Amino acid sequence: MKKTSFLAALWMASALLFANTGLAAPEKLFVGYAGMSADLSHVWITKEAGLFRRYGLDVVPIYFSGGRPLMQALIAGDIQLASTGGITSVRAIVAGADLIIIAGYMNKLTYTFFTSKDITRAEQLKGKAVAISGFGTTSHAVTVLALKKLGLVPVKDVAIIRCSRETGG
């Protein structure tokens, strides 16, 4: 009995000693981001700096032209993580998507209205149009909030138009 136990222990020790102890290659992690702006640059900057690989992650950043196609890819399982505006995520969840928001990295809106030089006051926007990246997007929600804050009625006082070469917004 002692000899059998000794042989079993010897076999186990040699198996462990000669086993491949290298770590398995990391699985690819597809991470979508919607937009080419400073507030969404963390995904591709981290990739370009080699930080994902340094910490054992094989991340493939995938650019999407807007939050809607990004959410569709996430829901379909084509990507594992998404970096996008909170409104896009909340809309998908309210519509029944089985998603979890795991982090929020901005606590203020970082949008700016740009106008022609002849518009210097908010009331001068009446009868004009404001361009957004797409309806149902964060830029749309922010524009509606800003117009209301400025005392203007969205659509009635100021037209909101989608003005983007990107599809999806």
96 pLDDT higher than 80: yes
Domains and CATH numbers, the chain: 28-94 (3.40.190.10), 122-162 (no CATH)
**Do the beta carbons of residue 68 and residue 50 sit within 8 Å?**
no
Average the pLDDT over 16-29 and give the result. Answer: 62
**Do the beta carbons of residue 75 and residue 99 sit within 8 Å?**
yes
Q: What is the pLDDT of residue 48?
A: 92
Backbone angles phi, psi at 17, to 5 degrees: -65, -40
Q: What is the pLDDT of residue 111?
A: 80
The SS3 call for residue 10 is helix
Q: What is the pLDDT of residue 41?
A: 83
43 pLDDT higher than 50: yes
Average the pLDDT over 14-21 and give the result. Answer: 46
Which amino acid, residue 28?
K
Q: What is the pLDDT of residue 95?
A: 93
